[in-house]
Amino acid sequence: MGSYGKIGNRYWNMGVYPAQEVSIDWLLGTNWFTESVAVPRGNYSRVTLLPTDAIKPFVLETLDAFGAPVYRVKLHEFAFDAISGIVENNQTKTATVEYTIRRVNWTPFGDYFRKQDPSKYAEQVAAKAQFVKYDDGWRIAQ
């Protein structure tokens, strides 16, 4: 998540995949962040949003190439749900395993995004993995 907001529209890229933008004014209204505005340079000002103690457990702070804070936010956790199918190919000694995972332990950020676009944040997610059989057992393939 970037620490730069577009001053005109005051939106902030939240650093989730796919990238999403959130109103800086909305974020400040949640009391999750405080705002620090650097001295304007030309047509731009740099806005840094600093997480408050209330939201810090859900925010990972790193630094960008210029030493400015970059925040990534946790939306939820994934938990294994069930295996829905296994297709084994004996000739190639491979298998495809289809399974589902669930989104659990939603954070305040996740709740916000889930309410904005529920179709992007389904509770259950289908996935699959490829495995290769070796002498000592199955290994996940790249």
The answer to whether residues 27 and 13 touch, using CB atoms and an 8 Å cutoff, is no
Q: Which residues contact 132 (CB under 8 A, 6 or more apart)?
A: 93, 94, 138, 139, 141
Extents of the domains making up the chain: 5-73, 77-140
22-46 residue pLDDT tens: 777 777 788 888 877 766 667 766 6
**Regarding predicted confidence, which is higher, 39 or 59?**
59
For the chain, percent of residues with pLDDT exceeding 70: 77
Type of residue at 110: G
Q: What is the pLDDT of residue 9?
A: 38
Structure tokens, 120: 């992007």
- Please name the residue that has the structure tokens 């997610």: 125
Rounded to the nearest integer, the mean pLDDT of the chain is: 80
Dihedral angle sign, alpha carbons of residues 100, 124, 61, 6: positive
Nearest to 49 by CA among 59, 81, 41: 59
* pLDDT above 50 for 71: yes
